[in-house]
Amino acid sequence: MATKVFMEALSPTMEEGKVVSWEKNEGDAVKTGDVLAEVETDKAVMELQARGDGVLRKVLAAEGATVEVGKLVAVIAAPDEDITELLGEAGDGKRGSQHETADEPVAAKRTPAAAPAERPREPSRAPTPAPATTPAPAPGGGGITVAERVKASPLARRIAAERGIDLTIIRGTGPAGRIIQRDVEAAERAPRAAPAPVYAADGYEDVGLSQMRKTIAKRLVESIGPIPHFFLTAEVDMERTADARQALNALGEEPKISFNDIILKIVAMALTRHRACNAWWQGDHIRYFNEVHIGMAVAIDEGLITPVIRNAHQKSLREIGREARELAERARARKLTPEEYTGATFSVSNLGMLDIDQFTAVINPPEAGILAIGAITEKPVAHEGSVVVRKRMRITMSCDHRVIDGATGARFLQSVSQMLENPLAIVW
């Protein structure tokens, strides 16, 4: 039985993919789940996996080639199987969801539009026998596995059918990306079509817009642009944070704590106290989060990506440090999965290591704020009545004025500054 290998949608927004490298060569034996190729999507380098067993008979896309999603890129088949007919189809152009092969398994025919049409089987004591879901045996032994088959557990299918949820837009978190019960239930809770990060049911609160808020939103957008930014800057004394960091690292534990780790931790703590800054502008309402998911801007060769430290408010300094390091490494290796770089509730951008004193960062919508961290520099300041040299750092918050007003942002920034100036706050 031959298996056609298609360029798959490896990220929710991917329309085409670039074959970075083939991990298997023509003639190699492959098993389901083997990595066939590394594919660069619009967001990351992902693995294209085999969905059938046999020999990789033909590779149709050269390394470096960019291929539309749904196009045939290779064929897996038995060593002596005739695949000429399959290869003939390769020139047909975009195939994707329209598959007509007569002998493909029934389950594979579920195209996105048709997905909810499967009649829900009634598990309660139904008088009529339930329709079978087992794929019909392929006549002539020539069944073809189709790449875009929706992988979902029977229970997930049943719940989705019953509740009218389209399985093709859900991202599976089960083995090999299989959609399982919790994914369907999460999709139902978060009805936005995005493939989206999942938030706990009580993880946020949507608040309708008052007339005043509507007017502020409308007028500010007219005056400034799609996101009406304003900026708040504070200079923070970093002596105590520097001492604390040095003392922690003197313990000899790995990994070492960085200033950035401490800043992320303190921002997370401050956001739990200033929910007004931990929010998304949603057009017709504002979503205030009870959970803190911090986006952390990471510079990579091709640009910039913002991996997310989830539930940062619940994590210890060391956990945040470890995660930040791991995410940054994965980001530079372009190995982040979509759920790792979406869903932040607030972001932090740090150019301190590049000796930038102060800058303004651009808001990552729908988030309402981002904090820009400058370098820590020694400078003379007035301190307890005399001029002394102390470590100082400038932080600048960009605020979406539709969500955050001046004083609201200032109070948040004040909390951050106070905690950085007295980092013992972390142990509260």
Partner 1 sequence: MANTFDVIVLGGGPAGYVCAIRSAQLGLSTAVVEKEKLGGVCVNVGCIPSKALLHSAYVANLVKHDAESLGISVKDMSLNFGTAIKHSRQVAEQNSKGVEFLMKKNKVTVLKGEGKLLAPRKVQVAKDTYTASKALVIATGTRVKGLPQVGLELDKTTVISSDEALFLQDTPASLAIVGAGAVGMEFADIYSAFGSKVTVIEVLPRVLPMEDPESSAAIAKVYQKRGIDLFTSAKVKGAKVSAKGVSLEIEAEGKSQQLQAEKVLMAAGRALNVENVGLDAAGVKLDERGFIKVDNNLRTTADGVYAIGDVAGPPMLAHKGSREGIVVAEVIAGKRPHAIKYDNVPSVTYCHPEVASIGLNEDQCKEKKLDYVVGKFSLSNNGRARAAKETDGFVKIIRDKKYGEILGAHIVASHASELIHELTVARENEYTVEEIDLAVHAHPTLSEAVAEAALDSLGRMLHA
Q: Is residue 146 within 8 Å of 107, Cβ to Cβ?
A: no
* Omega prior to 116 cis, within 30 of 0: no
Nearer CB in complex with partner 1: 81/162: 162
Nearer CB in complex with partner 1: 58/245: 245
Shortest gap between Cβ of 124 and partner 1 (angstroms)? 6
Shortest gap between Cβ of 394 and partner 1 (angstroms)? 33
Nearer CB in complex with partner 1: 123/139: 123
Kindly give, in sequence order, each residue whose CB lies less than 8 Å from that of residue 62, ignoring residues fewer than 6 positions away. Answer: 19
What amino acid positions are annotated as catalytic residues?
Answer: 401
In terms of phi and psi (left: phi > 0; alpha: psi -120 to 50; beta: otherwise), the region of 42 is alpha
Residue 126-165 contact track with partner 1, rule CB under 8 A, x = bound: x---x-xxx------------------xxxx-xx--x---
Shortest gap between Cβ of 294 and partner 1 (angstroms)? 20
H-helix or E-strand spanning residue 298: strand 298-300
Evaluate the CA torsion angle 137, 139, 142, 145 in order and state its sign. Answer: negative
Based on the shown chain and the rule CB under 8 A, indicate whether residue 332 belongs to the binding site for partner 1.
no
Q: By CB under 8 A, which span of 40-48, 172-180, 239-247, 279-287 interacts with partner 1? A: 172-180
Q: Extract the runs of DSSP E, i.e. beta strands, from 133-193.
A: none
H-helix or E-strand spanning residue 288: strand 285-289
Q: Which of 213, 273, 285, 318 touches partner 1 by CB under 8 A? A: 318
Shortest gap between Cβ of 314 and partner 1 (angstroms)? 11
Look up residue 338 and give its two tokens: 């979509």
Nearer CB in complex with partner 1: 178/273: 178
Contacts 24+ apart (CB under 8 A), 112-115: 112/166, 112/168, 112/169, 115/150, 115/160, 115/166, 115/167, 115/168
Residues 236 to 255 in contact with partner 1, rule: CB under 8 A: 253-254
Residue 264 CB neighbours (<10 A): 26
Nearer CB in complex with partner 1: 105/174: 174
CA distance 147 to 232: 50
Based on the shown chain and the rule CB under 8 A, indicate whether residue 275 belongs to the binding site for partner 1.
no
Q: By CB under 8 A, which span of 99-107, 121-129, 220-228, 392-400 interacts with partner 1? A: 121-129
Shortest gap between Cβ of 125 and partner 1 (angstroms)? 4
Nearer CB in complex with partner 1: 120/366: 120
Based on the shown chain and the rule CB under 8 A, indicate whether residue 189 belongs to the binding site for partner 1.
no
CA distance 115 to 117: 5
Q: Which of 27, 33, 93, 175 touches partner 1 by CB under 8 A? A: 175
72-77 and 54-59: which strand pairing? antiparallel
Q: Which residues bind partner 1 (CB under 8 A)?
A: 121, 123-126, 130, 132-134, 153-156, 158-159, 162, 174-175, 180-181, 253-254, 318
